[in-house]
Structure formats: C-alpha cells, structure tokens
Amino acid sequence: MDFVKAHRIEPGTSVNLQSIETKQAGPFAGKGDAREFTADMIEKIRELQYRMYVEDKQSLLVVLQAPDAAGKDGLIRNVLGQMNPQGCRTYPFKVPSKKELDHDFLWRIHQCTPGRGMVSVFNRSHYEDVLVVRVEDIVPEKVWSQRYELINHFEENLLAAGTRILKFYLHISPREQLERFRKRLEKPKKHWKLNIGDYTAREKWLDYRKAYEDVFEKCNTKDSPWHVIPADNKWYRDAAVAGIVYASLKRMDPQLPSVDVDLVEIRSLYEKALAKLSD
C-alpha cells in the first residue's frame, strides 16, 4: 500500500475531516500483521537515519498534531523514538513560558529545528498558534490570521536549508477519544494524564476541526505536506507513519561519505597490530 498517496493531502485542495475515516486496516490482516510491517520499517528507517547522520548534509522534521488521546506519545514510543537517539530529538511544545511569550511565536520553535544530519520530532508544534489560540480566543483574529503566511515562510526557510518536513494529523473519532479517556480513569499509572481541559475541549470539537481544516488548506505544500492518519486503530497509525517516514528518507537518499584513506595501508597497519598481539 502506498501510504503517502493514501493519506497525503494534495496542495490546493480543501479538506473535510468529517468525510475521512478514522478507523482503517489498510492492507493488513490484523494487528499482528501491521506490527510485523512496522518492525520491518523501523529497521529500514534506522539504517537510513544512520546514513543521514553520517552524511551530515540533510535533516528531517516530523510534526505531530492531534486531539487529546489520539496517540502522539504512543507513536513516538513505538516508531519515531526507535531511531538512534544520538541523531534524533523529541520536543514537546506545551503552554509557552513567560520568556517564550516575550518573543515572537516562532522563537521557541526555531531553536528546536534539526541541524544537519539530525531528526527533530515535534509533539505539538508551531501550529498550536493557529489552533489553540484561535479556538480558545487567546489572541485576536487579526493576530492569528496572519500567522499562516509566517508559518509558510518559516517552513520554506527550513526547506531551503536542507530540512525535509513531514506533518501528521492523527485523526481520531470522538467516541474513540472518550474510550481512551475511560481507560485512563481505570489505570492509576495513567492518572497523571487526566486533565479537565481534555473534556472541555470536546465541547469545541467542531471548532477545532474547522481550525485544522484551515491549516490543511493554507499551510500545505508539495515539499511540506500534511498527512491525515486514521488513528482509531493504534497499530494502523504506527504502520502508516512508519511507512511514510521510510518513504521520505528513501527519497532523500542519504549517502555515506566516500573513503578518503588508503585501505591497503590501513589493512597493513591492522595486520601489523594483530601480529604484535600474537607475539
């Protein structure tokens, strides 16, 4: 299955999230089949990430956005967090601090973008500043409405510097979200995740949906695409994202540096060192 083709939003198109399924099995016979595929993708991702790290010319930014309980943490734990941590960092963007609010809204974001050879994973992102601030009426419309263009310029700048950008929206149904909230209530080790705001936000589900649809229409380009991932089945969510990340890294085609030493000389030195150990 071509996960990119199945879930990528084509630039210039309008999106109606209501019309997109939140539960999908794709080509998989079930959970076990999907997890086997995901494990294979992770191994291939690790190899390409290693090559990108050593090549030190390109970088990858993965942006995750979703309603509460859609599985951003699980996706990071199961897939994205499986990359070598030496070359991959995860950044959770929570409510801005006083210091962050004293700067422009992209200031804290830019400091976390990936350098050459690196992967950055954003757990929430700069898009909060046209989502939460809009729906919760934190800043006036005349402020947040200008940020779409600023975000596009910001991402264009990253692309020009050699950073590939993948943006994922984890698409979950209200019913599935409520079921996951129930499981949190029943498991004491997950009580730390409980938040009154999760329930009040449900009352604005349609407002958030409209805000996301505007993001997909206004901040979606060929080189910085959005993907809507059906997330009711966690195993399908993981498999689809793993497949898309692998396909992107494969297109980037990172190369190991050429050998700039005399291999004959190196082998000779190795053999001499080995002979000394045998003396």
List the chain domain ranges: 3-278
What pLDDT score was predicted for residue 208?
97
Which has more pLDDT, 109 or 185? 109
End-to-end CA distance of the chain: 59
The per-residue pLDDT for range 241-272, each reduced to its tens digit, is 999 999 999 999 999 988 888 888 889 888 88
What pLDDT score was predicted for residue 262?
82
In order, the DSSP letters of 165-226 are EEEEEEE--HHHHHHHHHHHHH-GGGGGG--HHHHHHHTTHHHHHHHHHHHHHHS-BTTB-E
Which has more pLDDT, 278 or 270? 270
pLDDT at 76 exceeding the cut of 80: yes
What pLDDT score was predicted for residue 195?
79
What pLDDT score was predicted for residue 196?
79
pLDDT at 192 exceeding the cut of 90: no
82-96, 129-143, 186-200: segment of lowest average pLDDT: 186-200
- At 70, the amino acid letter reads A
What pLDDT score was predicted for residue 203?
93
Tell me how crowded residue 131 is: count the other CB atoms within 10 A of its CB.
20
pTM: 0.94
The Cα angle at residue 118 between residues 261 and 212, in degrees rounded to 5: 155
Total residues belonging to the chain:
279
Tell me the pLDDT of the chain averaged across its residues: 95
- Domain 3-278 CATH superfamily: P-loop containing nucleotide triphosphate hydrolases (3.40.50.300)
**Pairing label, strands 88-92, 119-123:** parallel
Distance CA 76, CA 15 (A): 26
What pLDDT score was predicted for residue 114?
98
Please report where in the chains the tokens 């050699």 appear, as a residue: 162
Burial 109-122 (b: 16+ CB within 10 A, else e): beebbbeebbbbbb
Report, as an integer, the average pLDDT of 153-157.
98
